[in-house]
Amino acid sequence: MMRIWLNDSPIDLLPGMTVRHALLQAGLLGEVEQGLCRVVDEWENEVGLDGALEDGRRFVLKPAR
């Protein structure tokens, strides 16, 4: 099991899961798919839905540009 953080909330996922899986579990996938929000990592890099996850990584949803 690995734990990532999305908007300062912990999400536990199995290894090999993607950003899409984390958003789905958090109930936020629709907002990103509709183009209302984008996902950025702790260094402000935009991350795609198929992006790989690692234990302890932090992500935030930001308004779309």
> Across-strand partners of 64?
none
Q: How much is the pLDDT for 28?
A: 96
Q: Which residues contact 27 (CB under 8 A, 6 or more apart)?
A: none
Enclosing H/E stretch for 49 = none
What mean pLDDT do residues 44-55 have? 95
pLDDT in tens, 26-41: 999 999 999 999 999 9
- List, in order of start, the domains of the chain with CATH numbers: 2-63 (3.10.20.30)
- State if pTM tops 0.85: yes
Residue 65 pLDDT exceeds 90: no
Q: How much is the pLDDT for 34?
A: 95
Whole-angstrom Cα distance, residue 28 to residue 20? 9
> Across-strand partners of 13?
2
Whole-angstrom Cα distance, residue 1 to residue 61? 23
